[in-house]
Structure 1
Amino acid sequence: MSIAGRFHDGLTAQVHAVGLDHEAGTLVIRSGDGAELARWPTAELFAVPSRKHELRLGANGQPSGARVVVSGREDVGRVLATLPVLTEKRRQQTGREIRLAVTATVALAAVIVAYLYGVPLLAGRIAGLVPPAWEQSLGETVARQMEASLSESGGLAVCDPDPDSLANRAITRFANAAIEGSGSPFQLDVRVVKSDIPNAFALPGGQVFFFSALLDQAETPDEFAGVLAHEVGHVAYRHGMEQLISTAGTGALIGFILGDMTGISVAAGLGATIIDARFSRDAERQADAFAAQVAERMDFNPAGLADLINRVGADDDFARALALLSTHPLTEDRKAALEVLSQQRPTGLEPPFTTAEWTAIQAMCGAPGKIKRK
């Protein structure tokens, strides 16, 4: 007895009510009047995903849209009993799907492990392989994204756009002296910008931002010089590039392999988070040691950095969330190390800023200079 079904020939939109018979290894498809419409070898049959209690069949060598549809639990059972090859193929397909799911799960777990552990561990080595020109391009991309994220608060307007002003010349001289001898391939670009966030940070490629709210908190040239030298240390050690690679995870590795380090695969979306991202403890210690080495050549106390972090951290919740204390956490061992480093510096050196320069720096964002010396 034929099994009732529907037949789509794959060539027209017409649906035929048919009867299905199994004859000598062939599925015979006949119309209601008994006319033969098609013969499909059972060895070429395959099941197509379908609804519950429905069986949809296709066959190799037929038009891609050709289908036989059988509905109802009883009729589906009869077809599967008549054509055991379908049951075996379904079992094999289920096995393939399970293996694929397991493989995908293992691959996803491997990617997660690489993202959480492998990439951060390799980030430092990868950063050293990135060409300086690529890193500068990345830094510019991140700066643009960061400025866009702060657009509601006025972006990153430079306090004093005149590079020949007394304040800017003093800052540039200090930054160049700080990075001298480090072997860094980057030309520093230090910008004091207007912002209510008391913070400072270094981007890949040599850009350093010092926010006006943090400058307002600095009471001595030592505090300002300590923070600035610390950020220059991040540039010298390429910590910004290392952080970007660690944050971007496997996407950074793919971008590096494909030669796409222009800001698309690595820096995309990081502008909004770079402000409140923190470097590793090792990176902070390296930058502290760098600041202390600068202090050995220039007469300032690197421990002023700790004083400024403590003062900023005593402010309101907003300041603590986005300020220097959050991005440069001051642990007890780090504070003690800064105190030891400050004791090792020589005395009688030329201070990093004259009184006139420090007054000009304090006033560059519009606030009157607060003349305080060590």
Structure 2
Amino acid sequence: MDVSGLWHYDGRTAIRHKVDLRTGDDGFSLIGDNVDMGPYRWSDLVRRDNSPDGPVYGLKDKAGWRICFAGGVPDAIRDQLPGPARYGRWVDQLGFWRASVMFLAVSAVFALAVFKAPDWLAPNIPFAWEKQMGDAMVGDFGGRFCNGPGGQAALDALVRKIDQGKPAVRVHVANIGMVNAVALPGGNIVLFRGLLQEAKSPDEIAGVLGHEIGHVRKRHVVQALMRQAGLSVLLGGFGGNGGGYLNAMLAASYSREAESAADDYAIRQLKSARISPDDTAAFFARMSAQEAKLGEAAAALGYVSSHPLSQSRERAFRQSKQAGTAYAPVIDADQWAALSDICHNDPKVPAEDSLFF
């Protein structure tokens, strides 16, 4: 069977040839002047695009080779020609269902990689890089750290009592009324004034601070930041975006496993320093009661929004108490008074700005 009215590009020159097509048993040949006659197999044709003259077909592995049935495709050979793309070239080649299964598998692997990336990457981030990022975040507090007489010395003494790890953590008190504490990259921890006002004893602060130090020692901080702010933390660095990452850190929450590991660290440190865990358990119980009473409004408490509480956490601290152990306060009464009033006794600290966060 001969089909006339085709145009053809051979892929070697820009000359359009007028050709006829002659069908064979399992393919076709082209008839015309100065053209590659073939034969070609129908299965080697691929649908390229459309022209005003009709559908255009190419040849596999031969760039620029084209034929077009300018006079229309005869019904006798229509079934031999590849149809138009339905979903996209590679989807049509694989088939819709096979491509769908492959897409779901690739998506699942990608989602797992993104979810697990912080766990894999965070422990291998150089501490010097993490410290530089943490210092940038600390600087974003804009001088809101309190330094009332004796307050920082009392806080430093408390920290030394519950943690002798290296590198040493640096703890500050910010003049912010929210009941919260946040661990920042590079071993920086910030207690908010509201937490000191809420605490009934220095031992409560010791337990909460021990928990935050646990996050630092376990490298949970960068993990949480990466989950909240994304891999841009690594790809984009921290230059010019310290405030954005600080807000991300404040909004971040740790996984149940990370919270449990930080609690375990705090319990071990309290035990080693002979500090009663009862006060920390009492703090958790009080926060849980306020959360239950206030419902969604409890987010304003800060601590319960970023540190999920549970009866099991409170129970873990209570059950860690050792009978017959002589416990003593982590710091004395005078030191606790200085720490409690560290912001009130500092005339230079800026007043709290509710719009800061």
Fold shared per TM-score above 0.5: yes
Query: Which string of whole-angstrom CA distances, capped at 9 and with x for unpartnered residues, describes residues 66-120 of structure 1?
Result: 4223368x61645545xx4868xx999945355454333223234445666xx49
Q: Which residue of 1 aligns with 2:318?
A: 339
8 Å CA contact 1:47, 1:86 repeated in 2: yes
Write the distance in 2 (CA, Å) between the matches of 1:80 and 1:93. 22
User: Which residue, out of 196, 209, 223, partners 2:204?
Assistant: 223
8 Å CA contact 1:284, 1:328 repeated in 2: yes
Write the distance in 2 (CA, Å) between the matches of 1:213 and 1:355. 19
8 Å CA contact 2:162, 2:206 repeated in 1: no
Write the distance in 2 (CA, Å) between the matches of 1:103 and 1:304. 53
Taking structure 1 as reference, are residues 92 and 319 closer, same or farther at Cα in structure 2, changes over 3 Å only? closer
Q: Which has the higher contact order (CA 8 A, sep 6+)?
A: 2
Write the distance in 1 (CA, Å) between the matches of 2:252 and 2:326. 36
1:318 Cα deviation after fit: 5.2
Q: Name structure 2 gaps, 5 residues minimum.
A: 348-357
**TM-score normalised by length of structure 2:** 0.68
Matched to 2:129, the amino acid is S
Query: Which string of whole-angstrom CA distances, capped at 9 and with x for unpartnered residues, describes residues 177-205 of structure 1?
Result: 3222xxx5432122323445432132454
Taking structure 1 as reference, are residues 216 and 13 closer, same or farther at Cα in structure 2, changes over 3 Å only? farther
Query: Which string of whole-angstrom CA distances, capped at 9 and with x for unpartnered residues, describes residues 334-358 of structure 1?
Result: 2223233356583463x33333433
Q: Does 1:263 align with 2:241?
A: no
1:174 Cα deviation after fit: 2.1
Q: Does 1:275 align with 2:274?
A: no
Query: Which string of whole-angstrom CA distances, capped at 9 and with x for unpartnered residues, describes residues 216-247 of structure 1?
Result: 433432332221122112223333355567x4
8 Å CA contact 1:137, 1:262 repeated in 2: no
Taking structure 1 as reference, are residues 70 and 237 closer, same or farther at Cα in structure 2, changes over 3 Å only? same
User: Which residue, out of 296, 306, 315, partners 1:327?
Assistant: 306
Write the distance in 1 (CA, Å) between the matches of 2:323 and 2:223. 29
8 Å CA contact 2:22, 2:29 repeated in 1: yes
Q: Does 1:134 align with 2:133?
A: no
Task: After TM superposition, list the pairs within 5 Å mapping 1:275-314 onto structure 2.
Answer: 275-296=250-271, 297=273, 299=275, 301-307=279-285, 309-310=287-288, 313=291
Write the distance in 2 (CA, Å) between the matches of 1:264 and 1:92. 31
Write the distance in 2 (CA, Å) between the matches of 1:40 and 1:272. 68
Write the distance in 2 (CA, Å) between the matches of 1:212 and 1:111. 42
Write the distance in 2 (CA, Å) between the matches of 1:65 and 1:271. 55
8 Å CA contact 2:282, 2:314 repeated in 1: no
Alignment RMSD? 4.7
Write the distance in 2 (CA, Å) between the matches of 1:230 and 1:302. 10
Write the distance in 2 (CA, Å) between the matches of 1:29 and 1:365. 94
Query: Which string of whole-angstrom CA distances, capped at 9 and with x for unpartnered residues, describes residues 284-327 of structure 1?
Result: 33433433343342545332431563476356845526711122
Q: Name structure 1 gaps, 5 residues minimum.
A: 148-153, 253-260, 370-374
Q: Which residue of 2 aligns with 1:187?
A: 168
8 Å CA contact 1:222, 1:304 repeated in 2: no
Write the distance in 1 (CA, Å) between the matches of 2:61 and 2:266. 74
Write the distance in 2 (CA, Å) between the matches of 1:173 and 1:3. 96
Write the distance in 2 (CA, Å) between the matches of 1:134 and 1:156. 24
User: Which residue, out of 191, 210, 216, partners 1:235?
Assistant: 216
Match of 2:251, SS state, is: coil
8 Å CA contact 1:233, 1:287 repeated in 2: yes
Write the distance in 1 (CA, Å) between the matches of 2:14 and 2:168. 69
Taking structure 1 as reference, are residues 285 and 36 closer, same or farther at Cα in structure 2, changes over 3 Å only? closer
Task: After TM superposition, list the pairs within 5 Å mapping 1:140-179 onto structure 2.
Answer: 140-141=132-133, 144=136, 155-160=140-145, 166-179=150-163
1:47 Cα deviation after fit: 0.9
Write the distance in 2 (CA, Å) between the matches of 1:166 and 1:71. 93
Q: Which residue of 2 aligns with 1:21?
A: 21
1:58 Cα deviation after fit: 1.9
Write the distance in 2 (CA, Å) between the matches of 1:311 and 1:92. 58
Write the distance in 2 (CA, Å) between the matches of 1:79 and 1:19. 17
Matched to 1:167, the amino acid is G
Match of 2:320, SS state, is: helix
